[in-house]
A = this chain, B = another copy of it.
Amino acid sequence: MAHNEFKSNVIQPLLTDLYEVTMAYSFWKDRKHDVRAVFDLFFRKNPFQGEFTVFAGLKDCLLYLESFRFSASDISYLKSKLPKNTEPEFFDYLASLTAKDVTVHAVEEGTIVFPKVPLVSLEGPLAVVQLLETTFLTLINFASLVTTNAARYRLAAPENVRLLEFGLRRAQGPDGGLSASKYAFTGGFDGTSNLLAGKIFDIPVSGTHAHSFVMTYSNVNQLNSRTLKNVHDGKEYDFVAACFEWRAKIANKLGIVESEANDGEIAAFIAYALAFPESFVALVDTYNVLRSGLLNFAAVAMALDQFGYHPIGIRIDSGDLAYLSKEAYKLFQQIANHFECPWFTSLHIIASNDLNEDTIHSLNDQGHKITSFAIGTHLVTCQKQPALGCVYKLTEINSQPCIKLSEDLDKVTIPGRKKVYRLYGQDGFAILDLLAKSNEKEPQVGDRILCRHPILESKRAFVIPSSVTCLLEKWWYNGEITRPLPTLVDIKNKVSKGLATLRPDMKRHLNPTPYKVSVTETLYEEMHSIWLENAPIGELS
């Protein structure tokens, strides 16, 4: 199924805060609803104590704009909730609204972004752009947060290790799970356990079996199917017997006590192997990884090999994952040596117990032998910081730039319509982002460009860029999406390429270096002059 054939039915114009509608009414009543206004959507702080964020959710916003229209039942609901003396013509106005007169400039989905940079800039009739606020924030905040989280896991895990998202059951609602699967994939994950996400977004799906599966067998007599076709001669043979022969052989050769291995467990493994001879993965920790699970797995794996199939590997879901993965790998090596089957050392070792970014770093330090991490709760709920604080601020009204002041200097907004440039050095790494007034000349490669801190007068530097990109592009104009929408794989590649242009010290786990976002001299002057005009009377701030 193609991506845009499916759309959650909760994404609709009423998925917003009441106050957007009351403000729209007040604007309409004061006949300023059609005044042109510009709102910037941005965040003030990178999540997860990091120094970068991945922008995501734009496609959802654009598809939302396409369908933005209050239904008759929405209007009648709003009539019932606004005061009785609300003028009826307002509801006719609401019913007539579309996003046709809105223009959206935005950063491309998957771009690495930083605080204060406008990610989306909406220009249009005041009431309409105000009405879009909450829905845009909802669609972008969580999407960007999960994508960033996934990208951080991707950076934390060794390059050759696969990352699987297994979080649906702990996600924040059904659609929280679906969004998490989607954006974990674009952020750098290789697959998901979530079938609906697989179907809708064409993401690879992955999974083994649960402890309960193993527990449904208590001994091998319960197996109803017992035979498997041998690939070599095409005939069915007793597969159970082959597994038990191998178990005795391996136990004997490696000095393992076979009687400690659980017979229900091997029965379950056999049943699973008979169903999936080509893709056998066994969960080995239902009873005891070292005394039972690994031996039972190895027996079934060797029997599969004998029958002409290639087993895939094991999953460990509890205990000391570094230690157990190393022990498993050691056993795989021994089997490879003793039975001359070198393929045994390339079997997968999947780990899946309550993993997070920190545990991955710790497992790396311990020299684990894990080949895939399956990550759930911490990834999908973004446990370390479950919300990104994107805000939506008025920056221009009726062609007048405006500023939101605050005693907290970090909260002062950068006024007016802007362009955003990313300046790169000779080494290919991004040096800084430069915000300029929209009518300023584009910074040129080789120019000596004064880049100023937006607030602090003394912080400034000249930069001579080796290349320059313009981050804000027009995505929505005259009621239409104006650029081809990227696929999820396009976005995924964009994330990975973008991260490669970020200096390693800015991506490191501990105390990363902040990336700089600056303004041009012209924008600095304009900002500070508006600031001065709006300085409060009677107090120093």
Tell me the A residues contacting B by CB distance below 8 Å: 1, 8-12, 14-23, 25-27, 29-32, 35, 37, 39, 73-74, 77-78, 81, 83, 85, 126, 130, 133-135, 137-139, 141-142, 166, 168-180, 193-196, 198-199, 205-213, 215-216, 218, 222-225, 257, 259-260, 262, 271-272, 274-279, 286-288, 291-292, 318, 377, 381-383, 386-390, 392-394, 397, 400, 402, 404-406, 536-539
Q: Are B138 and A171 in contact (CB under 8 A)?
A: yes
Residue from A16, A169, A215 having most chain B Cβ neighbours under 10 A: A169
Q: Tell which of B177, B394, B536 touches A15, judged by Cβ atoms closer than 8 Å.
A: B177
Chain B residues positioned under 8 Å from A274 (CB to CB): 26, 29-30
Q: Are A31 and B224 in contact (CB under 8 A)?
A: yes
> A30 and B196 in contact (CB under 8 A), knowing A17-B168, A23-B210, A215-B404?
no
Q: Are B19 and A139 in contact (CB under 8 A)?
A: no
Chain B residues positioned under 8 Å from A139 (CB to CB): 174
Q: Are B169 and A18 in contact (CB under 8 A)?
A: no
Q: Are B168 and A539 in contact (CB under 8 A)?
A: no
A318 to B133, CA, bound (A): 20
A14 to B207, CA, bound (A): 14
Q: Which residue of B lies closest to A405 (CB)?
A: B287
Closest-CB distance, A500 to chain B (whole angstroms) = 29
Q: Are A11 and B394 in contact (CB under 8 A)?
A: no
Closest-CB distance, A398 to chain B (whole angstroms) = 9
Q: Are B14 and A195 in contact (CB under 8 A)?
A: yes
A137 to B212, CA, bound (A): 15
A142 to B381, CA, bound (A): 10
Q: Are B389 and A170 in contact (CB under 8 A)?
A: yes
A376 to B178, CA, bound (A): 22
Q: Are A8 and B387 in contact (CB under 8 A)?
A: no
Chain B residues positioned under 8 Å from A32 (CB to CB): 216, 222, 224
Chain B residues positioned under 8 Å from A291 (CB to CB): 536, 538-539
Q: Are B212 and A17 in contact (CB under 8 A)?
A: no
Closest-CB distance, A159 to chain B (whole angstroms) = 25
Chain B residues positioned under 8 Å from A381 (CB to CB): 172, 381, 386-387
Chain B residues positioned under 8 Å from A277 (CB to CB): 85
Q: Which residue of B lies closest to A213 (CB)?
A: B23
The 6 closest A-B pairs by CB, nearest first: A175-B175, A19-B207, A18-B207, A137-B169, A172-B172, A381-B386
Given A32-B222, A130-B210, 10 extra CB contacts under 8 A: A19-B208, A22-B209, A23-B210, A23-B213, A29-B274, A85-B278, A173-B176, A215-B404, A286-B404, A383-B386
Q: Are B168 and A14 in contact (CB under 8 A)?
A: no
> A176 and B176 in contact (CB under 8 A), knowing A168-B134, A224-B30, A260-B536?
yes
Closest-CB distance, A141 to chain B (whole angstroms) = 6
Chain B residues positioned under 8 Å from A257 (CB to CB): 538
Q: Tell which of B11, B210, B292 touches A174, judged by Cβ atoms closer than 8 Å.
A: B11
> A14 and B199 in contact (CB under 8 A), knowing A9-B9, A30-B225?
yes
Chain B residues positioned under 8 Å from A209 (CB to CB): 19, 22-23, 26
Q: Are A394 and B216 in contact (CB under 8 A)?
A: yes
Q: Are A25 and B207 in contact (CB under 8 A)?
A: no
Q: List 16 A-B contacts (CB under 8 A).
A: A15-B177, A15-B195, A17-B168, A18-B193, A19-B208, A35-B216, A39-B212, A78-B195, A137-B169, A169-B390, A172-B382, A176-B179, A212-B392, A215-B402, A287-B405, A377-B387
A318 to B534, CA, bound (A): 19
Q: Tell which of B141, B176, B198, B406 touches A18, judged by Cβ atoms closer than 8 Å.
A: B198
Chain B residues positioned under 8 Å from A175 (CB to CB): 8, 10, 173-176
Closest-CB distance, A410 to chain B (whole angstroms) = 13
Residue from A16, A224, A292, A392 having most chain B Cβ neighbours under 10 A: A16
Q: Which residue of B lies closest to A166 (CB)?
A: B17
Q: Tell which of B172, B194, B394 touches A179, judged by Cβ atoms closer than 8 Å.
A: B172
Q: Are B74 and A199 in contact (CB under 8 A)?
A: yes
Chain B residues positioned under 8 Å from A194 (CB to CB): 15-18
Q: Are B393 and A208 in contact (CB under 8 A)?
A: no
Residue from A172, A288, A394 having most chain B Cβ neighbours under 10 A: A172
Q: Tell which of B16, B212, B392 touches A130, judged by Cβ atoms closer than 8 Å.
A: B212
Residue from A73, A134, A222, A381 having most chain B Cβ neighbours under 10 A: A381
A22 to B271, CA, bound (A): 11
